[in-house]
Structure 1
């Protein structure tokens, strides 16, 4: 679906560029020479090109919004079902689901390796009065 809208967006953008370049600007630009004996008069061609530009411009904006919405839906974050997570054994032999506060599981559920103990507490901070602490 995203690819389809992306191709339509590209075609609309190319048509929009072509229609804009065909319009007569103040200096003549790349506009078509309008002869009254042609298929459309100069006035009729200007009205048609102005109307086509506004329609293609609106279509371009709408397709841009649709593509942004589709891209956001396709890249939605994955959610983990808590019921699918296996319970882990605590040191006391009781089973608790992962992620509950308290004791951490003894092994990593992904690798099965034993977990390391948390690092020791950091030393006390230096006094705030500017004094240098004595080495212990």
Structure 2
């Protein structure tokens, strides 16, 4: 069910992007929203009204799908965020190192060893 809603959400998002790009802005936009290429089908004002309504409907469907997906994913026990995942092993790190258990505090790294102090001659 979640997969179907995700695919539908993708198509609604793509349609919303397309409808917004078709609208005529102050600077002319893409210029597709005018009635020049549409023959006598719709006037410029009718096209603008249609695109405005389509944008509103698609935005409402987009928000409803986003809320539905969020609510459906809430109690699944799945990973909720990329930041919740334990860190992956670092390449070239110490062999046999295991990641810390979730909820435990990581140990502080050991302080680097300082080089020996230079010998000072005494006369």
Counterpart in 2 of 1:65?
67
C-alpha deviation, 1:67, in angstroms: 0.3
Counterpart in 2 of 1:44?
46
Cα RMSD of the aligned pairs, angstroms, is 1.6
C-alpha deviation, 1:75, in angstroms: 1.9
Q: Once superposed, which parts of structure 1, at least 4 consecutive aligned residues long, lie more than 6 Å away?
A: none
Larger Rg: 1
Unaligned regions of 5+ residues in structure 1, if any? 77-136
Bigger RCO (CA 8 Å, 6+ sep): 2
Please give the TM-score of this superposition, normalised by the length of structure 2: 0.58
Unaligned regions of 5+ residues in structure 2, if any? 79-123
Counterpart in 2 of 1:29?
29
Q: Is the 8 A contact 1:21 1:31 kept in 2?
A: no
Aligned residues: 76
CA–CA distance in structure 2, aligned partners of residues 15 and 9 of structure 1: 10
